[in-house]
Amino acid sequence: MQKGIKIRLYPNKEQINKMNSFFGCRRYVYNYFLDYSTSNKDYSYYSWSKELTSLKQKEDTSFLKEVDKFVLQNSLKDLKTSYNNFFIDIKKEFKSKKGFNKPKYVSKKNTYQSFRTNYTNNNIEILSKHIKLPKLGLIKCKYHYSFNDVKIISVTVTRTPSNKYYASIIHEVDINPLVKTNKEVGIDVGVRNLVTTSDNVIYVNPLKLDKIEKKITRLQRRISKTKIDSSNRKKLRIKKAKIEEHKVNIINDYIHKITSSLIKEYDTLYIEDLNIKELITKQVVKRNKRKLISTCIGRLIKVLEYKAKMYDKQIHKIDRYYPSSKTCSRCNNTYEVKDSRIYQCPYCSLKIDRDYNASLNILHYGQNHN
């Protein structure tokens, strides 16, 4: 199975200049062939590859020769993937309020810049304190993972808004299966508590994030009062970017701990097929928290599905329109409780936490319909 590991890079000035050149060339090729495909109505990766070869021979674009060939080829593949997704959306007649997800030009002003290279003939090596990348040489790095006898597939180098550099290493890995527990669980995902299980285990949303969100809001106000392109504005933006990256790290760490605990404990997991935007809209959530909660829930479900596949566990999504929070987990009668965290059934007098009641209903529904 393929797995990704992210490590921190510490390039020197010369390597930073080369990386910036790689970012620029990757961006140039993507935008050039987006324009080329639109003008010529040609969406073939093979014809793009031929055109790229001739493009390298031209005097005004000969700078492309200085870049690792895989960076340019992967730029074409990324564009092809964008077009494929676009055409799939059309076939499915899926249309958002903003229209189809048509490929867009990549801007130099994008806060994140990246390029991807592939492993071949030992062109990528991971040493104790360095990583060797094509046409970049040995780059100082920091990681806490054993790469002994690892089969590397590709490496994506990313520059974050705070000017930090990372390498995401995709490699083949043999997964040691977890011990089977034969246990099942219903999982209720929500706004107040991120996760409530049918075993009445609760994972609240991280409290640290509230303080971090307030810091980000204050910084954004200060940024909006500064002059455009001023040095003070740039400093504040980098400061804000560092705090935002810290927030993402907290979310990722917390979610990995939750999902690891659930995957180790249970063999079968039942969860609602959520419409996250709809869930947050229905709840009374402050505007500045909506994106945060949406990020937490979306990330949680994605990581849970990834780990379940990795460790051969089963995830079943139940009907999103099943009234799990309105149904009594004891007598199965439906009664809507408004503005209360306690579910009190008027039919059988059950008094129970609303989220816990929902998780029990999710478990029962999943067991009866799978």
DSSP label of 92: T
* From 68, 78, 213, 272, the catalytic residue: 272
Q: Which of 131, 126, 150 is nearest to 10 (CA)?
A: 131
DSSP calls for 213-239: HHHHHHHHHHHHTSPTT-HHHHHHHHH
Q: How far apart are CA 62 and CA 119, in angstroms?
A: 24
Indicate which residue of 188, 213, 244, 267 is catalytic: 188
Distance CA 164, CA 12 (A): 12
Q: ∠231-235-239 over CA atoms, to 5°?
A: 170
Active site residue 273: no
Helices marked H in the chain: 13-40, 45-57, 69-91, 208-224, 231-265, 276-282, 287-310, 354-369
Q: For residue 140, give the 3-state DSSP assignment.
A: strand
- State the catalytic residue, choosing from 68, 78, 213, 355: 355
14 included as an active-site residue: no
Active site residue 188: yes
b/e for 203-236, b at 16 or more Cβ within 10 A? bebbeebeebbeebeebeeebeeeeeeeeebeeb
298 vs 276: CA distance, rounded Å: 7
Gap between the Cα atoms of 148 and 309, Å rounded: 24
Reading the block at residue 242, the tokens are: 């560092």
Residues recognised as catalytic: 188, 272, 355
